[in-house]
Amino acid sequence: MRRKDDLVIGLDVGTTKVCAIVAEKGDNGDVRIIGMGMSPSNGLRKGVVVNMESTIGSIGRAIEKAEEMSDVEINSVFAGIAGGHIDSFNSRACIPITRSSGEILESDIQKALSAARATYIPIDREVVHAIPQGFLVDGHEVGKDPRGMSGMRLEAKVHIITGAITSAQNIILCINRAGFAVEDIVLEPLASALAVLTEEEKESGVLLIDIGGGTTDYVVFTGGAIRHSNVLSLGGDHLTNDIAIVLKIPMSKAEEIKKEYASAGRENVGESDEIAVRCGVGQPNRIISRKELCDIAHSRMDEIFSLIMREIHKSGYERRISSGVVLTGGASLLPGSVRMAADIFDMPVRMGSPMGVSGLVEVLDNPIFATGVGLSKFGSHWRSSAMESRFKGRHLFSRVLERMSDWFGEKL
Ligand SMILES: Nc1ncnc2c1ncn2[C@@H]1O[C@H](COP(=O)(O)OP(=O)(O)OP(=O)(O)O)[C@@H](O)[C@H]1O
Ligand SMILES: [Mg+2]
């Protein structure tokens, strides 16, 4: 009989689908996916809840299916958060080491991290993550663990991710009203990173882009730590919308032909390739040029990648991304995306599906499940780390506000 403590549920409340991933934690720390439930999502726009009732319904249905498939009862979940309201920046602070030996203790590290985190945050926003990036002792970079070193000044660098309080509250409220507790909330691209990136990529520098339905999230890692993150309010659904408007067909048909015939590349598309689209009972088929369809896909993907490229260039990390780009999320399945990204970023590009876990092949082979799998991996570590005992029993918000997300600092 499975112990409840061994089960971790990742709940990805996305713009197009809600998906619950049921994972089982093995004795040696490995994670095995034993069930999955998915339900279409209609209550979010650009990653933010706009219809509570519809979102609650989708959450309930996804979890019910996951329970049926894995034959377990679900009570609590690790949930993702995203949306255009997410903001992130790097902060640093310096503290003096006053003891005569100059030795740096754990308490100094905590003090320096707290000082770096104690930056101005507008009252309508809350800190979702404050992730340690590294330390400097007397102005010299010393990596992530300065304990035991000696010096006169310890400087901490932290990546801070904030979100609108109301958006975070609404996701949690929907999950609670569907009848489930939230153990923690995690920024979605961080969860995706956990599922699809290797330690080596994070060390040598990588840009992860998760192109979903309503949002495109991206994060940059170098030297094993997160350096830059952002959420764009643009995704695959905008492409569906473009197709519907330009080709004058219903959204549902646009989504269908996008998945079946669209491509971001136009190399293998003949001028005369045509698609017959049945738009309604009794109506004649509409004949659509496949080249026109691919031109629409090309422009939208070009816009998304170019916006990110500009941001990365501004951030100064462009030259430090030695491992290149990893694409994940449903919209990255559009044929030609990898090639197009490689041209725009002028870097190697690969697709990223969940890895480092075993179990259901349908989940492991598909980039749309990257966030859900990452959430369950996060939860699994949370359960086995000191974080759980430290924060257990506290109100979720105060916990999220206070925690320094040590684990992301160490592992991401
Ligand atoms: N084979 C495919 N080709 C092109 N697009 C696809 C394909 N499969 C899925 N998509 C698109 O991927 C998008 C959904 O991706 P995903 O499931 O990652 O989004 P989400 O997590 O629900 O949304 P978000 O992360 O924005 O909240 C939709 O726009 C869908 O049309
Ligand atoms: Mg998503």
Query: How many independent structural domains does the chain possess?
Result: 2
Amino acid type, 176: N
- What's the chain's average pLDDT? 88
Question: What is the model's pLDDT at position 392?
Answer: 53
Pick the more confident residue, 183 or 5: 183
Q: What average pLDDT score do residues 13-35 get?
A: 90
CATH number of the domain encompassing residue 139: 3.30.1490.110
| Burial (0-12, 13-18, 19+ Cβ within 10 Å), 314 | exposed
Contact of 154 with 137, CB cutoff 8 Å: yes
* Residue partners of 287: CB distance under 8 A and separation at least 6: 274, 275, 276, 277
Q: What average pLDDT score do residues 347-354 get?
A: 95
CATH number of the domain encompassing residue 221: 3.30.420.40
Please check whether residues 237 and 321 belong to one and the same domain. yes
Pick the more confident residue, 80 or 384: 80
| Cα(49)–Cα(43) distance, integer angstroms | 6
Q: What is the DSSP letter of 103?
A: B
Q: Is 70 in the pocket of ligand 1 (CB under 6 A)?
A: no
Ligand 1 atom closest to Cα of residue 83:
27
Please check whether residues 149 and 238 belong to one and the same domain. no
Band (pLDDT 50/70/90 cuts) for residue 232 is very high
| Cα(396)–Cα(173) distance, integer angstroms | 12
Rounded to the nearest whole angstrom, what is the distance from the C-alpha of residue 369 to the centroid of ligand 1? 10
Specify if 387 maps to a domain.
Answer: no
Please check whether residues 208 and 276 belong to one and the same domain. yes
Please check whether residues 255 and 342 belong to one and the same domain. yes
Please check whether residues 237 and 149 belong to one and the same domain. no
* Residue partners of 184: CB distance under 8 A and separation at least 6: 78, 79, 378, 379, 382, 396, 399, 400
Question: What is the model's pLDDT at position 76?
Answer: 94
pLDDT tens, residue by residue, 358-406: 888 887 889 999 999 999 999 988 877 655 554 454 445 445 444 434 4
Q: Is 297 in the pocket of ligand 1 (CB under 6 A)?
A: no
Pick the more confident residue, 26 or 188: 188
Specify if 44 maps to a domain.
Answer: no
For a mutational test of ligand 1's pocket, the pick from 13, 16, 333, i.e. the residue with the most ligand atoms closer than 8 A to its C-beta, is 16
Cα 136 to Cα 92, 109, 115, 327, 347: the distances in Å are 10, 11, 14, 33, 30
What residue has token string 């952002």? 230
Q: Is 214 in the pocket of ligand 1 (CB under 6 A)?
A: yes
Q: 109, 136, 161 — which closes off a domain?
A: 161
> Which residue's C-alpha comes closest to atom 13 of ligand 1?
213
Please check whether residues 261 and 143 belong to one and the same domain. no
Contact of 226 with 411, CB cutoff 8 Å: no
Question: What is the model's pLDDT at position 26?
Answer: 78
- Packing angle between helix 165-177 and helix 52-70, nearest 10 degrees? 50
pLDDT tens, residue by residue, 205-230: 999 999 999 999 999 999 888 999 89
The upper half-sphere exposure of residue 354, i.e. CA atoms within 13 Å in the direction of its Cβ, equals 27
Specify if 148 maps to a domain.
Answer: yes
Q: Is 237 in the pocket of ligand 1 (CB under 6 A)?
A: yes
Domain containing 219: what range?
199-354
Please check whether residues 96 and 152 belong to one and the same domain. yes
pLDDT tens, residue by residue, 94-120: 999 998 999 999 999 999 999 998 888
| Cα(375)–Cα(370) distance, integer angstroms | 9
Does the pLDDT of residue 238 top 70, yes or no?
Answer: yes
Pick the more confident residue, 121 or 178: 178
Please check whether residues 292 and 203 belong to one and the same domain. yes
Contact of 46 with 84, CB cutoff 8 Å: yes
Please check whether residues 152 and 93 belong to one and the same domain. yes
Question: What is the model's pLDDT at position 126?
Answer: 84
Q: What average pLDDT score do residues 187-212 get?
A: 94
Q: Which is nearest to 213 in space by CA: 191, 188, 177?
A: 188
Please check whether residues 287 and 151 belong to one and the same domain. no
Please check whether residues 288 and 221 belong to one and the same domain. yes
Band (pLDDT 50/70/90 cuts) for residue 79 is very high
* Residue partners of 48: CB distance under 8 A and separation at least 6: 83, 84, 85, 167, 170
Q: 307, 332, 354 — which closes off a domain?
A: 354
Question: What is the model's pLDDT at position 2?
Answer: 61
Specify if 218 maps to a domain.
Answer: yes
Question: What is the model's pLDDT at position 411?
Answer: 37
| Cα(132)–Cα(195) distance, integer angstroms | 20
pTM for this one?
0.89
Q: What average pLDDT score do residues 273-300 get?
A: 88
Query: Counting ligands in written order, which one lies closest to the CA of residue 371?
Result: 2
Q: What is the DSSP letter of 74?
A: -
What residue has token string 């684990």? 407
Contact of 251 with 240, CB cutoff 8 Å: yes
- C-alpha angle 301/302/308, rounded to 5°? 95
| Cα(219)–Cα(193) distance, integer angstroms | 8
